[in-house]
Amino acid sequence: MRICLGEEDPQDPPSDPSSSFPSQQIRTGLDLSSLRLYTRHENFGQDGRGGEERDPLKSWFWETWESMSPLHQRRLLTFVTGSDRFPLSGAKGVGMVITKRDVHHHHHLPLPRSSTCTCTLYLPSYPDRMVTSAKLEKVVELAYQGFGLK
């Protein structure tokens, strides 16, 4: 890697995906409480008063994300939105959507999917916190392996 005026040369991409994150950002977690406030949750049910019921899957998802290291928090954000940071307008400008997907066969629990074009995470309805956490950690791990080419 060549260094020009103290910055990485844009013509020489980093070999390690984690090196594309400035070191200060890796140490700083995301403001997930703001992001949660502005995230739209779909298919989580209604409580009869027009509000969302307290679905444990939603809690498991946010608790898992909050417990991740700052680097993994940013990798999950990248998986959903295509960017490791909020826009200048902050968490409100992300426009993130989490859509709960029913799982019909509990012997096969798929990984979450995302659409970075619409900043949507398609989250399968996992049976418990441990499965939710394991599947999200797996997504973070696989999202930065690419196609295995070096």
Per the DSSP assignment, residues forming a β-bridge with 113 are: 122
Question: What range does the domain containing 89 cover?
Answer: 30-143
Residue 5 falls inside a structural domain: no
d(CA 48, CA 9): 56
Q: Which residues contact 146 (CB under 8 A, 6 or more apart)?
A: none
Residue 128 falls inside a structural domain: yes
When pLDDT is averaged across residues 64-73 and rounded to a whole number, the result is 96
Residue 30 near residue 96 (C-beta atoms within 8 A): no
What pLDDT does 146 receive?
Answer: 59
Per the DSSP assignment, residues forming a β-bridge with 123 are: 100
Domain of residue 66, CATH code: 3.30.2410.10
Residue 63 falls inside a structural domain: yes
Q: How many CA atoms lie within 13 A of 73 on its CB side?
A: 21
Structure tokens at 42: 């779909």
Task: State the first-to-last Cα distance of the chain, in angstroms, to the nearest integer.
Answer: 15
Structural domain total, the chain: 1
The pLDDT confidence band at residue 48, using thresholds 50, 70 and 90, is very low
What pLDDT does 49 receive?
Answer: 46
When pLDDT is averaged across residues 43-68 and rounded to a whole number, the result is 80
Residue 1 near residue 9 (C-beta atoms within 8 A): yes
Residue 20 falls inside a structural domain: no
More confident residue, 104 or 16: 104
Residue 24 falls inside a structural domain: no
The pLDDT confidence band at residue 45, using thresholds 50, 70 and 90, is confident
d(CA 54, CA 101): 16
Residue 19 falls inside a structural domain: no
- Return the minimum-mean-pLDDT range out of 15-29, 77-91, 115-129: 15-29
- Return the minimum-mean-pLDDT range out of 14-23, 28-37, 48-57, 74-83: 14-23
Going across the sheet that includes 40-42, the strands are 40-42, 97-101, 120-124, 113-115
Residue 67 falls inside a structural domain: yes
Residue of 73, 84, 76 lying closest to 22 (CA atoms): 84
Residue 103 falls inside a structural domain: yes
